[in-house]
Structure 1
Amino acid sequence: MSESEPRPGAAPLTRWAVGGAGNDGYGRMFGELVSAGTDVDGEARLADALLPRDARVLDAGSGMGRVSAALAARGHRVVGIEPDAALVAQCRHTFPGLEVVESDILGVTAEQLGLFDLVVCVGNVMIYLADGTERAVLARLRSLLAPGGRILVGFHPVDGPTNSRTYPPEEFVADAEASGLRVDLRFGTYELHPPLETYAVWVLSPEA
């Protein structure tokens, strides 16, 4: 059995996991950008604007930790969750003060992590999920919200990276609504430009 095949009875592999060694360039690229002082904080600036001071933030699919680190630097209490062991190791090396849990999104609960004022799920996490798990993931993220909490999501609906899926906006909205969420806002960038075909930024909150 190859590493890209799930064990019998195991949870389905995410599209990210199927990519295997082909994903290695992601962490290296962002590590080099951070080291060079390049501005990679766009998602964090918007997230910060959605939050009170000293808020609890969950970075779902935190990768090598760049968004988590930027939010922690702005005074928030951040927990990252990331299933890729290599990215978790890179995060702990690059940002040793961050709390990061090595886990799939569906592998964590409110009983383990507590509740959050904002869940950040950016960097194309939604289009790298295991096939058919989108609604379960959105429902799990909803279950991790504190009263008044929201979810910030960003991904390429079309023309995404290798091994990712096409995720039309109308399908994402249907999945969000089926998961007990409503769309409060949609933009085309983290600088709040109008909606684009090639990128979507969403602010979601629980249905009343």
Structure 2
Amino acid sequence: MTGQQDRWTELTGGQAGEEYARRFARLAESGHDIHGEAAFCAALLNEASRVLDAGCGTGRIAIRLAELGHRCTGVDVDSSMLAVARRTAPGQEWILGDLAGLDTLGLDPGFDLVLAAGNVIPLLASGTESTVVRQLAATLRPGGLLVTGMGLDAAHLPLPEAPLTLTDFDTWCDQAGLTLSRRYATWSGEPYQHGCGYAVSVHARPAV
């Protein structure tokens, strides 16, 4: 644990859970598909895979993946978000913790897929990003996948400017022993082109 406040907490004060849940409820009610991330991940998984949703928020993705038959654990530093997740899916595993201290949370390694969606990486505490990527990689089984989604400019972030670049992120992944497998511009699989404001990346831990 670093004790340093992450950018998400600086933005929300750690009190965003209920409003975040209402926002996605409104989207669902208006006919929007709110399960794009879960569908993307499910297409990469075998049946009954182990998934770690790192920065799980209100549990929207982990709950959907569990409905699809996967074994999901959610970790988040925001207790207001986890309160919604626990209320919605009390039978699932929800852990309050800082991703920079993931190795202190008692997780069993060997996850088939680790997900960090919803701008988790850009909203980490400044200076902890490489540590978090390394610890996420360490929870994967050989051949496991790290799937991330992140904004790369102010139009796709709740920040005035992006605190990192894709080059930074790929460097941290490389240092953690991960290899870029594929990259898209959206969760629906639109091709990524240089200059896109959003990137969905799949990095793999070597199988041997």
TM-score normalised by L of structure 2: 0.87
Match of 1:59 in 2: 53
Q: Distance in 2 between matches of 1:129 and 1:154?
A: 13
Of 192, 196, 200, 1:195 maps to 192
Paired residues of 1:109 and 1:140 also in contact (CA < 8 A):
yes
DSSP 3-state at the match of 1:109:
helix
Partner Cα separation in structure 2 for residue 200 and residue 155 of structure 1? 6
SS in 2 for 1:184: strand
Q: Does 2:121 correspond to 1:129?
A: no
**Structure 1 residue runs of 4 or more that deviate by more than 4 Å after TM superposition:** 34-38
Deviations 1:85-125 (A, max 9, x none): 10010111122232111111122338822120000111110
Change (3 A) 1:95 1:34: farther
Determine if contact 1:18/1:163 at 8 Å carries over to the other structure.
no
Q: Secondary structure at the match of 1:153?
A: strand
Matched, 1:43 2:59: no
Secondary structure of the corresponding residue to residue 53 of structure 1? coil
Evaluate the alpha carbon distance shift between residue 67 and residue 12 of structure 1 in structure 2; reply closer, same or farther with a 3 A threshold.
same
Report the alpha carbon displacement of residue 21 of structure 1 after superposing the two structures with TM: 4.0
Q: Secondary structure at the match of 2:51?
A: strand
Q: What are the equivalent positions in structure 2 for 1:1-208 lying under 5 Å apart?
A: 11-21=3-13, 24=16, 25-34=19-28, 38-109=32-103, 112-114=106-108, 115-159=110-154, 160-163=156-159, 166=162, 167-196=164-193, 197-207=196-206
- Pairs aligned (count): 200
Q: Is the 8 A contact 2:151 2:197 kept in 1?
A: yes
Equivalent residue, structure 2, for 1:5: none
Q: State whether residues 141 and 205 of structure 2, in contact with CA within 8 Å, keep that contact through their aligned partners in structure 1.
A: no
How far apart, CA to CA, are the structure 1 residues paired with 2:29 and 2:106? 33
CA deviations on 1:115-150 (whole Å, 9 max, x unpaired) are: 200001111101100001111000000110012111
Instruction: Give the percent of matched residue pairs that are identical in Structure 1 and Structure 2.
Output: 34
CA-based RMSD of the aligned residues comes to: 2.3
Q: Supply the distance in 1 between the matched residues of 2:73 and 2:113 (Cα, whole angstroms).
A: 11
Q: Check 1:202–1:174 CA distance in 2 against 1; reply closer, same or farther (3 A cut).
A: same
Q: Could you tell me how far apart the structure 2 residues matched to 1:29 and 1:119 are?
A: 25
Mark the runs of 5 or more structure 1 residues left unpaired by the alignment: 1-8
The letter for the 1-side match of 2:143 is G
- Aligned partners of 2:134 and 2:172 also within 8 Å: no
Cα distance change, pair 52–83 in 1 and its aligned pair in 2 (3 A): same
Cα 1:137–1:10 shift into 2, 3 Å? closer
Question: Does the Cα contact within 8 Å between 2:2 and 2:100 map onto a contact in 1?
Answer: no
Name the CA shift for 1:130/1:81 in 2 (closer, same or farther; >3 Å): same
Post-superposition shift, 1:172?
Answer: 1.6
Query: CA, structure 1 residues 61+74, in 2 after alignment: closer, same or farther (shift >3 Å)?
Result: same
